[in-house]
Amino acid sequence: MSSDWKIYTRTGDKGETSLIGGRRVPKYDLQIEAYGTVDELNSFIGMIHAKIAADEAGRITLLEVMDRLFTLESLLAEDKAPDPEGKRKTRPLPGLYPGDVSLLEHEIDRMNETLPALSSFILPGGTETAALCHVARCVCRRAERITLRLWEELRFDPLILQYLNRLSDYLFVLARYLNRMEGGEEVLWKAKT
């Protein structure tokens, strides 16, 4: 970024923002809601990363996840409306790849090897870091739901949905793993009948 770049532009003061390509949309547009929720998720993952001390592999994976989420945000922010006159400003966007999903699956399997099998739902909590993983997991599920609604309108790469789905699984297992690493208690849910 140049030294004269300013954080404020005043172009959004009337409730609109630009998609990648230049088209202006209301800030409540479903595309904005989708990538804004992914941005919220990314911020929670940054908090988790800042708190993890014991697991270097987890720290590296979380940095990769934050990078992939920025990519995902840009893909969701791309103007996908038809451009019959060819006037849209375009630039190449980074990509999401099947290997990104495979990394999450590999990390889930790595952590699961050290965890006891589950026979019940667990209550979110334990250590502070594990509890943050559960919050991030819930935000990830919300991002997935919103993105699915957007996908039904725009039919973009379904790998975005797959990544969000697998990421919520990863965050669940990470919460369990961090509870174990940090000495937290995993409380099983017991339904009252």
Can you give the pTM of this predicted structure?
A: 0.89
95 vs 92: CA distance, rounded Å? 9
DSSP per residue over 85-139, as a string? T------------HHHHHHHHHHHHHHHTTSPPPSS-B-S-SSHHHHHHHHHHHH
Q: Determine the pLDDT at residue 7.
A: 75
pLDDT (average), residues 94-98: 95
48 vs 42: CA distance, rounded Å? 10
191 vs 13: CA distance, rounded Å? 49
Q: What share of the chain is helix, strand, coil (3-state, %, to 5)?
A: 55, 5, 40
Residue 14 located in a structural domain: no
Q: How many CA atoms lie within 13 A of 111 on its CB side?
A: 23
Q: Tell me the residue length of the chain.
A: 193
Residue 140 located in a structural domain: yes
Residue 103 has pLDDT above 90, yes or no: yes
Residue 54 located in a structural domain: yes
Q: Determine the pLDDT at residue 141.
A: 98
77 vs 32: CA distance, rounded Å? 7
Number of domains making up the chain? 1
Q: Which amino acid is at 150?
A: L
How many other β-carbons are positioned within 10 Å of the β-carbon of residue 43?
A: 13
Q: Identify the band that residue 30 occupies on the pLDDT scale cut at 50, 70 and 90.
A: very high
Residue 1 has pLDDT above 60, yes or no: no
Domain span including residue 106: 22-77+94-182
Q: What is the CATH number of the domain that holds 52?
A: 1.20.1200.10
Q: Determine the pLDDT at residue 61.
A: 95
| Residue 35 near residue 73 (C-beta atoms within 8 A) | yes
How do residues 157-175 score in pLDDT, each as one tens digit?
999 999 999 999 999 999 9
